[in-house]
Amino acid sequence: MISIFRKLLVALVSVALLFSATVESKSIPAHRCIVTYDYDAFGILLHSTGTTPNNYLYSGEQFDPDLGLYYNRARYLNVSTGRFWSMDSFEGNSQAPLSLHKYLYTGNDPIDQIDPSGHLLSTLAYGQAVHDAIGEDFELKVPGGIYDLSVKSILGIKFPGLRLRPDLTDTINHLGYEIKPAGSAAQGAAQLAGYLFALTYFDPNKNVWLPGELYLPPTLIELNSHAVALVSPPIAGVIVYEVIDEVEITGIVAAATAALAADLAGSFAVATLATAY
């Protein structure tokens, strides 16, 4: 199954690169920019330049000027409210509260995420399942490994209010790990630094806790019949994963193909005018 996902991604990237090279070399000088768009986080257009007709705008999605909405396949998106027009068919995951919101776009994180299928973002929906799978694997493989326990419980101390919970801790080697979705590694590193400081500061045995890199998580976690998580080895204690959902990939490919076709048509028009003059 994963080979199918990879082939789709490779094919999409290859088409995009080929198109980019063709346009740059045959129709548009490398230094020339025909149109530009500036948006706020949720897609409200703030400023634009150029007059080339184009309906593929925010996040590369198709804008319907008659409705004033973006077409995201399963549903239409209203960027004025940052919400979809209709409810998500996904019932949600009780372990991920944001997934229970039926109209939310990208889990309220449009800076780092997109939702080309119109369904809830896979990382949000499957995040807890990925954490649990890695945590279970960690406790099986690592002697003294602990998943999702508070700092005071790890150290066996009583301290009011100390509720910090690192994702993974190796109590023998005094190492910590944080699990984060792709695009959130910096946030994970900052969180882990706070956990390790607390562990070192409150450790009754004066151990120094460091970011871990000894544990190797499973590289592939199968979540269901159409979704998997690709997991990277820890870097400075941060384990990064990305959920690949066949439904969302289909939406991404459709959006990219449509956008490339529209851009290609516009580029050929520019090239034709340039040749004529």
Give pLDDT tens digits for 214-231.
Answer: 999 999 999 888 788 999
Q: 99 and 161 share a domain?
A: no
In this structure, are 110 and 144 located in the same domain?
A: no
Q: What is the mean pLDDT of residues 152-175?
A: 90
Backbone angles phi, psi at 80, to 5 degrees: -65, -30
Same domain, 99 and 79: yes
Residue 63 lies in a domain: yes
Q: Is 191 inside a domain boundary?
A: yes
| Same domain? 82 vs 170 | no
Calculate the alpha carbon distances from 156 to 139, 159, 174, 177 in Å.
18, 10, 14, 19
pLDDT at 256 over 70: no
The residue assigned the tokens 């998943």 is 147
Predicted confidence band of residue 107 (pLDDT cuts 50, 70, 90):
confident
- Please give the pLDDT value at position 277: 54
Specify if 194 maps to a domain. yes
Please state whether 92 falls in left (phi above 0), alpha (psi between -120 and 50) or beta: left
268 found inside a domain:
no
64 and 81 housed in the same domain: yes
Higher pLDDT, 267 or 66: 66
Question: Could you tell me if residue 135 is inside a domain?
Answer: yes
Same domain, 98 and 176: no
**Does 148 share its domain with 195?**
yes
Tokens of 85: 């027009």
115 and 148 together in one domain: no
What's the average model confidence in pLDDT over 85-113?
78
Number of domains observed in the structure of the chain: 2
Give the integer Cα–Cα distance in Å for 62 and 189.
Answer: 36
Say if residues 113 and 107 touch (Cβ distance below 8 Å).
yes
101, part of any domain: yes
Coil, strand or helix: which one is 199?
helix
210/148 same-domain check: yes
pLDDT band at 24 (very low <50, low <70, confident <90, very high): very low
Question: Are 111 and 182 part of one and the same domain?
Answer: no
The residue from 75, 94, 120 where one domain ends is 120
Share of the chain above pLDDT 70, in %: 71
The pLDDT assigned to 65 comes to 94
End-of-domain residue from the set 120, 150, 170: 120
Same-domain pairing of 157 and 106: no
Q: Say if 190 falls within a structural domain.
A: yes
Domain that holds residue 95: 56-120
Q: Would residue 73 count as lying in a domain?
A: yes
Q: What is the DSSP string of 68-104?
A: TEEEETTEEEETTTTEESS--SS--BTTBGGGG-SSB
Same domain, 101 and 177: no
Domain boundary among 120, 142, 164: 120
Q: Are 230 and 241 in contact (CB under 8 A)?
A: yes
